[in-house]
Amino acid sequence: MEKQPNVIVSSGGVKCDNKSCDYIDKTATVERYSEYLNKPCPKCGENLLTEEDYNLAQQLNALATFMNSLTQEQIDELNKAQGVELNPKLKNKKVSVTFNAHKSISIDKIEPID
């Protein structure tokens, strides 16, 4: 039986970092991020995707690949070593995690999907 992935990546989308601009391109895929790198926002003209943010997005994908190489026991040990305690309501559940990769990697939302 094939091992189920620990992390399923469904990333994509580019949004303008200018707080007064609401431009979002939800069709942008991670594979196409290089097309947005240092390009002007079509709405306000500011840089749409900086080198720094592009690199953070690539790091998130590398992290997902790493997490998929681990067993559940290894993930549990990693969480324990990092002092991570999961919400008991989410333990052994599939969750959707929305990340933001602007200047740093932050979690915007965690919600169960089962």
Q: Is residue 112's pLDDT more than 90?
A: no
CB environment 74-97: b (16+ within 10 A), e (fewer): eeeeeeeeeeeeeeeeeeeeeeee
Structural domain contains residue 3: no
pLDDT tens per residue, range 18-77: 889 999 999 998 888 999 999 999 999 999 999 998 998 888 888 888 888 988 888 888
Handedness of CA 66, 70, 72, 77 (dihedral sign): negative
Give CA torsion, residues 53, 55, 58, 59, to 10 deg: -100
pLDDT tens per residue, range 77-95: 888 888 777 767 766 677 7
> How many structural domains does the chain have?
1
Kindly state the average pLDDT of the residues 88-104. Answer: 74
Distance from C-alpha of 72 to C-alpha of 31, rounded to nearest angstrom: 28
The pLDDT assigned to 1 comes to 64
Structural domain contains residue 6: no
Structural domain contains residue 1: no
Q: Is residue 99's pLDDT more than 80?
A: no
Which one, of 22, 27, 30, lies nearest residue 101 by Cα? 30
pTM above 0.85, yes or no: no
Structural domain contains residue 54: yes
* Domain ranges, residue 52: 12-112
